[in-house]
């Protein structure tokens, strides 16, 4: 049976809503929608590029806590409040995934949980076995 491992980043919404930042079951790792919120403040202010980098850094840290890496990511989903900022958000995504090139989706949404947040990113990963399979 596959053991369930979870990661929490201490977000105030995790216990309130009842979710984990990331979960690993077997070779699959799912990372919940992640924003630039850390310790109750938004990293990057009103800069979509900086917010995307901060969210991707939190995703990277969460994956690593579960024995995965950004190289294991197969899909990302980006929710943005202003699609006209797609290039800045895409640039941050490309910096983290230029060699991995997971499938990716970016959609505009009306709002995120905090009005200061501009982007939320999800990730799915498949961890390779020690023998490379």
How many folded domains does the chain comprise?
Answer: 1
3-state DSSP assignment of residue 76: strand
Q: Helix 48-65 vs helix 86-97: angle between axes, to the nearest 10 degrees?
A: 30
Average pLDDT in the 45-55 region?
A: 97
In a domain, 133, yes or no: no
Q: What percent of the chain has pLDDT over 90?
A: 80
Does 27 reside within a domain? Answer: yes
Helices (H) and strands (E) in the chain, counts: 3, 8
- Decide if 54 is inside a domain: yes
The least confident of 80-84, 95-99, 126-130 is: 126-130
Question: What mean pLDDT, rounded, does the chain reach?
Answer: 93
Q: Considering the domain boundaries, does residue 12 fall inside one?
A: yes
Residue 72 domain flag: yes
131 falls within a domain: no
The CATH number for 100's domain is 3.30.1330.40
CA distances from 133 to 16, 82, 127 (A): 38, 39, 9
Residue 78 covered by a domain: yes
At residue 6, the 3 state secondary structure works out as: strand
Residue 132 — pLDDT band, cuts 50, 70, 90? Answer: low
Question: Domain for residue 46, yes or no?
Answer: yes
Q: For residue 133, is pLDDT > 80?
A: no
The whole domain housing 12 covers: 4-126
The confidence score (pLDDT) of residue 102 equals: 98
| Confidence check: pLDDT of 25 > 60 | yes
What average pLDDT score do residues 28-52 get?
Answer: 95
20 Cβ contact list (under 8 Å, min separation 6): 6, 7, 8, 14, 32
């Amino acid at each position: 049976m596959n053991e369930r491992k979870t990661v929490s980043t201490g977000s105030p919404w995790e216990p309130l809503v009842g979710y984990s930042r990331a979960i690993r079951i077997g070779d699959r790792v799912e990372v919940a929608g992640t924003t630039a919120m850390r310790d109750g403040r938004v990293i990057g202010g009103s800069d979509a590029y900086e917010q995307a980098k901060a969210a991707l850094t939190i995703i990277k840290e969460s994956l690593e806590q579960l024995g995965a890496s950004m190289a294991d990511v197969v899909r990302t989903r980006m929710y943005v409040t202003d699609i006209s900022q797609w290039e800045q958000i895409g640039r941050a995504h490309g910096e983290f995934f230029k060699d991995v090139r997971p499938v990716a989706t970016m959609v505009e949404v009306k709002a995120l949980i905090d009005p200061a947040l501009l982007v939320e990113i999800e990730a799915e990963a498949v961890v390779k076995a020690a023998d490379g399979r």
